Amino acid sequence: MTLTQLQNTLRLTYGIVPIVAGLDKFTNLLTNWTNYLGSNASHLPLDGAVFMKVVGVIEIIAGITVLLRPALGAVIVMAWLICIALSLLISGNYLDVAVRDLLMAMGAFTLVQLTRNVSPAKAIATQ
């Protein structure tokens, strides 16, 4: 597998997964997303379900950004995943998800590096 193929695989992964997760914030087919808010939900200015729909829109935008501008989008997804993981670690809940999100953030970082190094001219155009 070439570096370009690896970069494209990661671009599709980090583009599609946030879009699917974001869309699921409106349907809750994969999980009940408000459960991840736990006791933090009482501190939100919005109802938990409404908050998760806002999160869903952000995730959809982040996924589309990865597909169109992989270096920029991957940085956004990486930061988003780190924030989610830190929130879960602080809450002491869903620690398995926190670890998974940190590992996914490392994959997004890898996508940034591949995008910048596979073809420097292409990377500049996609940032």
Q: What is the pLDDT of residues 29-65, one digit of tens each?
A: 999 998 888 776 777 888 989 999 999 999 999 999 9
Q: Is the pTM higher than 0.75?
A: yes
Q: Which residue segment(s) compose the domain that 36 sits in?
A: 3-126
Element counts in the chain: helices (H) and strands (E)? 5, 0
Please say whether the beta carbons of 66 and 109 come within 8 A.
no
Number of domains in the chain: 1
Query: Residue 105 has what DSSP assignment?
Result: H
